[in-house]
Amino acid sequence: MKIGFIGSGVMGKSMALNLIKAGYQLNIYTRTKSKADELIKEGAAWMDSAGQVAAASDVIITIVGYPKDVEEVYLGENGIIKNAKAGSVVIDMTTSSPLLAQRIYEQARAKNIFALDAPVSGGDVGAREARLSIMVGGDAEAFERVQPVFAAMGKNIVLQGAAGAGQHTKMCNQIAIASNMIGVCEAMAYAQKAGLDPNTVLQSIASGAAGSWSLSNLAPRMIAGDFAPGFYVKHFIKDMTIALDTAQEMGLMTPGLELAKTLYEKLAAEGAEENGTQVLYKLFI
């Protein structure tokens, strides 16, 4: 099985490396070739376009930036759908629009191509350690066929339903994280203002009822002043925008999400959009 991989950002590069470690032959493409240097050194074959990757691969995985990038790479003139072979499986692991995932599915199906939307959660650490949570939408047949591919990148792999269900599940994930991140930052700032050692406070509360992935993995980075991106502020704002738009279409009230988006947009306006999401802490100290 030849795997095409498009996108080599903070998470994509680690995911691709894990596929290589698992023994898969990779065909790769990214808009900035230098970002793929490490993958090429590890044996991946460089292609000059998304279309070339699609034509040369049995399974094509994408993890790019924004819905507009997903649309271009799949539905563009030299994109995946126009160039993929009949019977191949395309997997978009970008956090993107559920409606766009459904469009891609329909256009792929018309060409006898299987399409899955499979966004992930777990950050840079989960990507490196191949223990991402993978939320999948699409046909069960295609899901079962690529299970070994998913297993090379993640541990918690669940088929959530039809096309778009993976993206809807990721929206649930991002909504939960958005309000939780505010709580984590407030708690760590409170500890500091009260004259406590935030590290020992974290030791006490991370394993109790307040425990969360963000508290265990991102609070230590906040305390250390490490705001390097495991997941970019700019991409979190993108995700929250998709979630808010979709929630509004469904008539769902999401005040916590609205507040989090406002705070992160303030950070982005101050030049922090390339930082990791834990930089929210700076607003509280």
Catalytic site positions: 170
3-state secondary structure the chain: CEEEEECCCCCHHHHHHHHHHCCCEEEEECCCHHHHHHHHHCCCEECCCHHHHHHCCCEEEECCCCHHHHHHHHHCCCCHHHHCCCCCEEEECCCCCHHHHHHHHHHHHCCCCEEEECCEECHHHHHHCCCEEEEEECCHHHHHHCHHHHHCCEEEEEEEECCCHHHHHHHHHHHHHHHHHHHHHHHHHHHHHCCCCHHHHHHHHCCCCCCCHHHHHCHHHHHHCCCCCCCEHHHHHHHHHHHHHHHHHHCCCCHHHHHHHHHHHHHHHCCCCCCEHHHHHHHCC
